[in-house]
Amino acid sequence: MRFDVISLFPELFAPLLTSGITRRAFESGQMEVKLANPRDHAQGNYRRVDDRAYGGGPGMVMMAEPLAQCLAGIKAARPDAAPVVLFSPIGKPLNHASVERWAASHGAVLICGRYEGIDQRFIDAQVDEQISLGDFILSGGEIAAMALLDAVARLQPGVLGDEASHQQDSFNPSLDGLLDCPHYTRPETWAGQAVPDVLLSGHHSQIERWRRDQRLTLTARHRPDLIVQARDAGCLSAQDEAALSHCQP
């Protein structure tokens, strides 16, 4: 799996690739990340990659030609026809299902925009898919690209210490798309609050039922839309519905 990242600030990616548990995916070669700077393909003494917008207005716009040349070099070096992805406010929100799709793919070319945006002609000609992290604006696409790479990396075999770990994550299909339950560790009592008795009982079936009820309760309170989705998909049992009937909105 190979991800090529086009960024004016490739140095921002160094900590992601060398720190934390997800670095295993990059160090092992399961995920190859190549960084490319469009400034290396710009013309003139100043290697300019942006200019003022036609029609006026504040800010600068990334020029199409340096991006096109950078992308052409990447495509020539790749063994496959990878999709070109732009992080943009008009893109589809990134969710667990799309992360799983990318985790099972051969990778992509990720474009990190800056300034007021990118010349629309480049987008129309070269971009296959646009992704958004949510309804807010970042200074550039680098953080969004790192979020995607991190989410994909942790799904690769052997990256997490426990292979079943990501199966218990919020939004995972194994949990019917629900939020995860609360977690506790030592000491048994902290700041006057004790760990729930059921978690100390050793009764695994009771523990799993408690965790399921907690997931249902948290999801109903904070993301009721996910309860609707789970119900529509036929994922909720009569016992689940009974637990939900006691939830306080």
SS3 235: coil
Assess whether 154 carries a catalytic annotation: yes
Domain that holds residue 119: 2-153
CA distance 92 to 77: 28
Asked if the model's pLDDT at residue 23 lies above 90, the reply is yes
Q: Which of 154, 211, 212, 215 is catalytic?
A: 154
Whether the predicted pLDDT of 44 surpasses 90: no
Are residues 37 and 79 both part of a single domain?
A: yes
Residue tagged active-site, from 169, 180, 209, 231 = 169
List phi, psi (to 5°) of 129: -150, 145
The CATH number covering residue 130 comes to 3.40.1280.10
On the 0-12 / 13-18 / 19+ scale of CB atoms within 10 A, 168 is middle
Provide, rounded to the nearest whole percent, the portion of the chain with pLDDT above 90.
90
Looking at residue 173, its pLDDT comes to 87
pLDDT tens per residue across span 79-115? 999 999 999 999 999 999 999 999 999 999 999 999 9
Residue 63 has pLDDT above 70, yes or no: yes
* pLDDT band for position 171 (cuts 50, 70, 90): confident
Catalytic pick from 11, 48, 52, 89? Answer: 89
Amino acid at 203: H
Contact, 159 vs 200, CB < 8 A? no
| Range of weakest confidence among 68-72, 164-168, 180-184 | 164-168
Give yes or no for a contact between 142 and 131, defined as CB atoms under 8 angstroms apart: no
Is 71:84 a contact under the CB 8 Å cutoff? yes
Distances (CA, A) of 63 to 90, 156, 236: 20, 36, 51
Same domain flag for 35 and 104: yes
pTM for the model stands at 0.92
**116 catalytic, yes or no?**
yes
Q: 142-170, pLDDT tens digit by residue? A: 999 999 999 999 999 999 877 667 777 77
- Average pLDDT of the chain is 95
CA dihedral 195, 200, 204, 207 (to 10 degrees): -20
Are residues 147 and 42 part of one domain?
A: yes
Query: What pLDDT score does 174 carry?
Result: 80
Query: What is the rounded distance in angstroms from the CA atom of residue 196 to the CA atom of residue 206?
Result: 12
- pLDDT tens track for 196-228: 999 999 999 999 999 999 999 999 999 999 999
Number of H helices, E strands in the chain: 9, 9
Q: Name the residue among 29, 31, 40, 28 with its Cα closest to residue 146.
A: 31
Residue 15 included in any domain: yes
Boundary (domain end) residue, out of 118, 153, 188: 153
pLDDT of residue 175: 83
Q: Among 116, 150, 180, 223, which one carries the catalytic annotation? A: 116
Say how far residue 181 (Cα) sits from the centre of its chain.
21
pLDDT at residue 50, rounded to an integer:
97
Do 149 and 180 have their domain in common? no
Query: What pLDDT score does 216 carry?
Result: 97
